Structure 1
């Protein structure tokens, strides 16, 4: 699989890095990773002038110190030095990571998803929204076993085809199971049809089942299971997470679609909410490479 041959991994020098390194080590041969860029972004890498004057031999340059620390961690996980490059940069974390994703032409950005460690996760969400490439979130403390159950939320779009194709390829490599889910709801004006809520719920279910049958026939998906979930009061993302728990999913793969051609092509609202709520299993936001490039180019000109 050459889809993710170049990968960028964001490190923040906390215990989150251990989770990222242990997982990326396992996933590297599965994803076909050939080159990894480990990047750490600091707002300021300079040593205060007064301190450097008074103690000229006390501190090594900050970037060199960080690089040595990252190298030590990589050695602990037996990473081959020929397969990676360490980058320590100064500036705004989001803008800097996005800029280097473009410069290095990476296929996948890997970020940690914290739930108890210090940090709100807002940077990770913003990077996922605006990244020109796919983004994989790995939750804090997640184990390193190969995933055995992959969940793919569907809307029967072209992105659904792309995500199912990827899930099936990954599943074949690690002997995993793929399951899909699709959310449907009863339209607000159903009562004007003269039918009850229960009757119209049945009509909507039959309709989405037909759509799924057309989708699988069009793309030649044989025996692809799909759970049809009635959306009522919760957000779509919450239904996906709840079903994922009942299914025992250990990875979610969801497609991202651009909302508009102006201002920025951001994640679809369901994928965005899923990032905020899911802190338990890895989530891969799959994008067509370069789909946010117009936004990124505008950002880098600021």
Structure 2
């Protein structure tokens, strides 16, 4: 099953590139990748001194040298010849804009970015790409062992748009023989005390209401027997809360989606997804966006 035939991988000429290339190779067959673009964006393609010292014989122009370095890494890690590759080196004062423009130019289905844990780097570019890309995004972490997921958490809010993301999560879980773990975060509304109920009593009412909603929701999918985990949010950051629950449940990937209430909103993320992206730098994550429905808004955003 082909999920994403055209993929673009963001590289920064650091040690993270080696990790990202090796991890991408593992996902190629699973994702159904037929063509893979490797994009490096720099404000100045003139080589830094550490690279000229490491590669003293490379006297070509900056973009050609960058392409040669990346090609060397692909050869070193035996990137499959069955997948077409193209290496793109670009200068730009605004790397995020350049990444998003090239995603549109190449009409890619998925952007793959690295998330650093101990290596230097702010993560601002990968966060920005995840939030604004016109296609799905996969974030692969520095320290996570290489391998396909076995247990996938999908935060679930029972909305109409969530059906699309949930169906995508089911397909992925079935493809890699992984367990799908639906999780619903609920809270006790303000003013509950006016009902005459205690906090704990109203918390249980909200949980039971959520269970009924999930039964209706999951009945429309291929695995109606799945159990949903319910997590009470008593004021904690929802991203931190989901990450904490992921560790408790021993999951090894997140799948989330865009807002999706309107076509113009489909390119952007809801607050829960944004907070999880900010909190999570330890587990792989796929941000699923329905390709195509957001392109008009994307073009308007960049005044194309």
TM-score, normalised with respect to structure 2 = 0.90
User: In the alignment, what sits opposite 2:84?
Assistant: 83
Structure-to-structure mapping, 1:47-58, within 5 angstroms: none
Output the CA distance in 2 between the equivalents of 1:262 and 1:29. 32
Displacement after TM superposition at 1:262 (Å)? 6.9
Q: Give the counterpart of 2:287 among 280, 285, 288.
A: 285
CA distance in 1, matches of 2:301, 2:212: 43
Q: Alpha-carbon deviations, 1:189-213, whole Å to 9, x = none?
A: 1111122212211111111111001
Q: Distance in 2 between the 1:90 and 1:98 partners?
A: 14
1:27: how far off?
0.4
Give, in whole Å, the separation in 2 of the partners of 1:129 and 1:289. Answer: 14
- The equivalent of 2:238 in structure 1 is 236
Q: Name the CA shift for 1:157/1:39 in 2 (closer, same or farther; >3 Å).
A: same
Corresponding residue for residue 29 of structure 1: 29
Asked if structure 1 preserves the Cα contact closer than 8 Å seen for 2:258 and 2:266, the reply is no
Deviation at 1:296, TM superposition (A): 2.7
Tell me what 2:52 maps to.
Answer: none
Which residue pairs with 1:123 in the alignment?
Answer: 125
Residue pair 2:109, 2:135 contacting (<8 A) in 1 also: yes
Query: Is 2:258–2:265's contact at 8 Å kept on the other side of the alignment?
Result: no
Check the 8 A contact 1:131/1:292 in 2, yes or no.
no
Q: What SS does structure 2 have at the residue aligned with 1:218? A: coil
| 2:256 aligned partner | 254
Cα pair 1:16 1:141 within 8 Å, conserved:
no
2:143 is matched with 141
User: Counterpart of 1:214?
Assistant: 216
* TM-score between the two structures when normalised by the length of structure 1: 0.91
Question: How many residue pairs were aligned?
Answer: 294
* Segment drifting more, 160-169 vs 125-134: 160-169
Gaps in structure 2 of 5+ consecutive residues: 48-56
1-side partners of 2:2 and 2:151: how far apart?
Answer: 22
**Equivalent residue for 2:171?**
169
Q: Give me the CA root mean square deviation.
A: 2.2
- My pick for the range that moved more, 81-90 or 270-279, is 81-90
Secondary structure at the aligned position of 1:222 is classed as coil
Report how far residue 295 of structure 1 moved: 4.2
Q: Do the aligned residues in 2 keep the contact of 1:156 with 1:215 (CA within 8 Å)?
A: yes
Aligned counterpart in structure 1 of residue 202 of structure 2, from 200, 203, 208? 200
Cα deviation, residue 174, structure 1: 2.1
Deviation at 1:291, TM superposition (A): 4.4
| Deviation of 1:122 (Å) | 1.1
Offset of residue 89 of structure 1? 1.1
**What whole-Å deviation, never above 9, does each CA across 1:190-240 have from its counterpart, x for those lacking one?**
111122212211111111111001101133532212101111021111121
